[in-house]
Amino acid sequence: MSSPSFRNVALIAHVDHGKTTLVDAMLGATGVFAAHQVRVDRVMDSSDQERERGITILAKAASVEWKGTRINLVDTPGHADFGGEVERALTMVDGVLLLVDAAEGPMPQTRYVLSKALAFGLPSVVVINKVDRPDSRLDEVADEIYELFFSLDAGDDKIEFPIISTVAREARAMVGVGIPDADADLGALLDTLIETIPAPSGDPNAPLQALVTNLDASDYLGRLAIGRVVQGTLRSGSRVALCHSNEEEPPLRRRLSQLMGFTGLGRAEVEERVAGDLFVVAGFPEVEIGDTLADSENPEPLERLTVDEPVLRMTFGVNTSPYAGRDGKFVTSRQIKERLDKEVLGNVSIRLGSTPSPEIIEVAGRGELQLAVLIESMRREGFELQVSRPEVIIRAIDGVPHEPVERAVVDVPDEYVGTITQTSAPRKAKVADLRPGDAGRTIVTIEGPARGLLGFRSLLMTATRGTALIHQHHAGWMPWAGELPHRTGGAMVSDRKGASTGFALDNLQKRGELFIGPTVEVYEGMVIGEASRPHEMQVNPTKGKQLTNIRTHSSDDAIKLKPHRELTLETAIEWIAEDELVEVTPNAIRVRKRFLSESQRRQAKKRA
């Protein structure tokens, strides 16, 4: 039997090392963009949030042709928060293209994604990208990559990897460590991929087994199942069996309404997909991630996908503020529940749980960023909801409560190293590593309880005037570290409904930091700022200036308001305390107390 003329490759790397840019270059080098008059940068980052944040959130596939061989490319996220996407993508491929920045070298997420690839036993092609940077360290970075493989206990066969040097944005590559010639193309990289990554294994004549690793939806075809044929051949219009997670349920037997494959950036209808190839099928609205499409006569399910467990949880509830229903199209608990159920179908690293209230749902995930992306997506779709502060998930190990450990790698200018250590010490985090970087910068590695590092990112960005680069990921479990400090100031809480005035805010800004400006609609129980003292403060932000016939110089001074702190979704979630919520609507993000009236809050404290 001749080996299939296609290869399945996943691109894995640390955040911002150039995966998506390299995919763009490969698509251009193989003629995929030839018919396009307008070329879009980072074409694989198709959602608004991916483009705004400059990160890949969802794993996506594309296909290119090179010298008669089809190469299926899967672009994966670099953030550990989206590790579920990485794990899913790795089940679809036979090798990985590991991308490393020529100046930064291997970083925390490089280690994370490579450890996942080695766990799957996948061979690697190493690409050192951005070799034209003036601060590149080619030989040192190559040594660091070998050290990384050794530290992850890679086998001898996995350490014998080829190294390709690239300038992805200029589509230039060469074999070995160096700078490609000005007239070089990506041929060296594409040739190496075909030579190094093995052709898929699996007998196309065996009984069908195909694993569903992702879901999509079409307005015309309904739910689509995306995955890989493990063995056998998947044929258009054939009768197949769908094996669910519940083994007691009999398999569903049905004909495929459509079979598609990846071609370029899109999908095209095909007659068949053989063992090892990637597929997209329609015809099973009940399909879920991890299901098996099997032979209709003798269905044998494959082992289901397993991913790392969530470490953070928060609650999503119906918006109950006085301004509820003004902005959103979807405001009921049923609509929120349906949306979250839909998210879980396509996102294996999100978990839903029940709460005592039918209007509140517990949502668990990998990290703050993943949960914030979900909330922002719902907000843009027209949902109104209120969410709580994230809490860590406690795990009992040998009868002792343990909490998740977070590792943060911070790249900062040298003058801010002391600021990092001072900021992390009260959070019971310790400096695990400190090494000089390039151009007057230092790389500091911090480890501490995950709940202690909630909000650490925004605090650090403020303290370093936006010059810090920070990457966080889960690093195991530790015994419960005890109580940790949260914020220093209490909440400034509005005691009435109305529009804020410059006169009132002028007086209040002397007592703390404001979150709102003048003419903003407020309500009783809404938090409008952080007081300079630790206690909660009841304030009237709607008070107007008394108009009298008497004018004095002191009373008629012009109002001078300082710029207020604009709360984003992430900073609001990090800032709130246990008795506060973030109200999220398509047009507004507000912080509020769980109980809006002061009397209700007093009663709640007595009960507690």
The confidence score (pLDDT) of residue 216 equals 75
- What average pLDDT does range 558-584 have in this prediction? 87
Handedness of CA 127, 114, 203, 239 (dihedral sign): negative
Bigger pLDDT: 111 or 375? 375
The confidence score (pLDDT) of residue 314 equals 92
Bigger pLDDT: 159 or 2? 159
CA distance 47 to 73: 18
Contacts of 12 (CB under 8 A, 6+ apart): 19, 76, 78, 86, 96, 97, 98, 99, 113, 114, 116, 117
Q: Which of 526, 597, 511, 539 minimizes the C-alpha distance to 567?
A: 526
Q: Which of 296, 307, 306, 294 minimizes the C-alpha distance to 230?
A: 294
Percentage of the chain lying above the pLDDT 70 cut:
88
**What does the DSSP 8-state code read for residue 250?**
P
Min mean pLDDT across 262-271, 331-340, 372-381 is at 262-271
pLDDT tops 60 at residue 2: no
CA distance 300 to 120: 22
Strand partners, 395: 402
Q: How confident is the model at residue 164 (pLDDT cuts 50, 70, 90)?
A: very high
Q: Are 71 and 403 in contact (CB under 8 A)?
A: no
The confidence score (pLDDT) of residue 25 equals 84
The confidence score (pLDDT) of residue 489 equals 86
The confidence score (pLDDT) of residue 15 equals 65
Length of the chain: 608
Bigger pLDDT: 452 or 540? 540
Q: Which of 144, 151, 145, 108 minimizes the C-alpha distance to 125?
A: 145
Residue spans of beta strands (DSSP E) within 480-601:
491-494, 498-499, 512-514, 521-522, 526-531, 537-539, 580-584, 589-593
Name all domains of the chain by residue range, CATH numbers in brackets: 6-196 (3.40.50.300), 209-295 (2.40.30.10), 395-479 (3.30.70.240)
- What average pLDDT does range 348-354 have in this prediction? 82
Query: For 328, phi and psi rounded to 5 degrees?
Result: -90, 160
- What average pLDDT does range 141-154 have in this prediction? 88
Min mean pLDDT across 43-57, 324-338, 399-413, 437-451 is at 43-57
Please provide the average confidence, as pLDDT, over all residues in the chain: 82
The confidence score (pLDDT) of residue 219 equals 67
Report which residue type is found at 9: V
Residue owning tokens 């109104």:
384
CA distance 367 to 260: 34
Residue spans of beta strands (DSSP E) within 256-320:
258-263, 266-269, 272-274, 278-282, 292-295, 312-317
The confidence score (pLDDT) of residue 386 equals 94
The confidence score (pLDDT) of residue 456 equals 77
pLDDT tops 90 at residue 482: no
> For residue range 39-88, what is the model confidence (pLDDT) as tens digits?
444 444 444 554 444 444 444 577 888 888 888 888 776 444 444 567 77
| Burial 71-101, CB ≥16 within 10 A → b, else e | bbbbbbbbbbbbbbbbbbbbbbbbbbbbbbb
Q: Is 416 helix (H, G, I), strand (E, B) or coil?
A: helix
Bigger pLDDT: 56 or 234? 234
The confidence score (pLDDT) of residue 120 equals 87
The confidence score (pLDDT) of residue 285 equals 81
Q: Are 209 and 294 in contact (CB under 8 A)?
A: yes
Count of CB atoms within 10 A of residue 122's CB?
Answer: 22
Is the pTM value of this prediction over 0.85? no
> For residue range 108-141, what is the model confidence (pLDDT) as tens digits?
677 778 888 898 899 999 999 989 988 888 999 9
Q: Which of 414, 408, 526, 509 minimizes the C-alpha distance to 459?
A: 408
Annotate 341-389 with DSSP letters as a single string.
HHHHHH-TT-EEE--SSTTEEEEEES-HHHHHHHHHHHHHTTB-EEEPP
Query: For 474, phi and psi rounded to 5 degrees?
Result: -70, 135
pLDDT tops 80 at residue 382: yes
Q: How far is CA 282 from the centre of its chain?
A: 28
Min mean pLDDT across 235-239, 302-306, 371-375 is at 302-306
Residue 159 burial (CB < 10 Å; 0-12/13-18/19+)?
Answer: exposed
Residue owning tokens 């005035």:
501
Bigger pLDDT: 39 or 340? 340
- What average pLDDT does range 321-331 have in this prediction? 90
pLDDT tops 50 at residue 332: yes
Strand partners, 317: 360, 386
Q: How confident is the model at residue 255 (pLDDT cuts 50, 70, 90)?
A: confident
- What average pLDDT does range 382-394 have in this prediction? 91
- What average pLDDT does range 225-253 have in this prediction? 84
Bigger pLDDT: 472 or 197? 197
Q: How far is CA 71 from the centre of its chain?
A: 26
- What average pLDDT does range 508-527 have in this prediction? 92
pLDDT tops 80 at residue 385: yes
pLDDT tops 60 at residue 302: yes
Annotate 479-512 with DSSP letters as a single string.
E--------SS-EEEE-S-EE--HHHHHHHGGGE
Residue spans of beta strands (DSSP E) within 133-277:
163-167, 172-175, 209-218, 222-231, 233-235, 239-243, 252-255, 258-263, 266-269, 272-274
378: which 2 tokens? 């719902």
SS (H, E, C) 74-135: EECCCCHHHHHHHHHHHCCCCEEEEEEECCCCCCHHHHHHHHHHHHCCCCEEEEEECCCCCC
The confidence score (pLDDT) of residue 32 equals 67
Report which residue type is found at 498: G
